[in-house]
Amino acid sequence: MQGFTQTDTIFNQTDHLNRMQGHWKKHYKNGNIAYKGYFKDSRPMETLVRYHENGAISAKMIFSHCGDTAQATLYNTLGRKVASGKYLKQLKHGTWVYTNANNEVVFSEQFKEGKKHGKFTNYFPTGQVFEEVNWKEDKKDGPTVLYFINGQIKSMLFYTDGQTNGPVRLYYTDGRFRLEGQYKGGLKDGPWKFYDLSGNVTKQVNYTMGIASDQDAMAERETKELDQLLKNVGKIQEPAIEDFLRGRGF
């Protein structure tokens, strides 16, 4: 029987407790490799590499000595890097950065053990900040700011525990007020003032816990625009990355 050479590696071994030990690799039905890595007591160690079914690398994860944390780099089916960040016990942790085809940062976000916690920042293609959203334990909390391409603030509002709460301001591109008002517990409350380009108040609508004292077409149009803005705050299509760890088929 032919013996092993020094370059031979034994794969897919388990111990008496059926725990994964040593080098492991699996293949897709088409024969291409699905992943390869090194395990100790069924915990991935060192470097784990996963592949798309077409053979391109989908994820490269470098694990800590204890195997609890991993620095991950994620790739699309063309082999382009799309995201990088850290996992802590299979949960996103710390800052994650997402890049485009030119390796420019598209947006970044911060996590604490799988929950959004910290700042989400979205960028214009020019690299300037477009949007900043603050999160706390998976809920918007603190200021949310949108910017024009010239760097001026477009809108600013505040959240408390996931609800709009506090002052809201919309601006023209030159920095002058377009609208100012107040939220209380997620509802418009108090006077809402609308301004023209010269800085003059053109309309004031008074709200009491979301109910307007009178209806006005201009005010309705402006507030609908603001409501649409609120629906889109902090929302962006992320790469599908959770499958790189969960459902990994070890």
Q: Which of 68, 66, 61 is nearest to 83 (CA)?
A: 61
In a domain, 225, yes or no: yes
In a domain, 26, yes or no: no
Round to whole Å and give the CA distance between 37 and 248.
Answer: 12
Query: Has residue 243 got a pLDDT over 60?
Result: no
Task: Show the tokens assigned to 73.
Answer: 């780099």
In a domain, 104, yes or no: no
Place of tokens 């063309």: 78
In a domain, 92, yes or no: no
Residue 222, classed as helix, strand or coil, is: helix
**Domains in the chain, number:** 1
Mean residue pLDDT across the chain: 85
Place of tokens 């053979």: 55
In a domain, 151, yes or no: yes
For residues 196-204, average pLDDT: 91
Quick one: pLDDT at residue 217?
Answer: 60
Query: Has residue 95 got a pLDDT over 80?
Result: yes
Place of tokens 């409350």: 189
Query: Has residue 228 got a pLDDT over 80?
Result: no
Summarize pLDDT for 99-145 with one digit per residue, the tens. Answer: 988 888 999 999 999 999 999 999 998 889 999 999 999 999 999 99
Give the CATH number, domain containing residue 196.
2.20.110
Q: Structural domain of residue 172, as residue ranges? A: 128-235
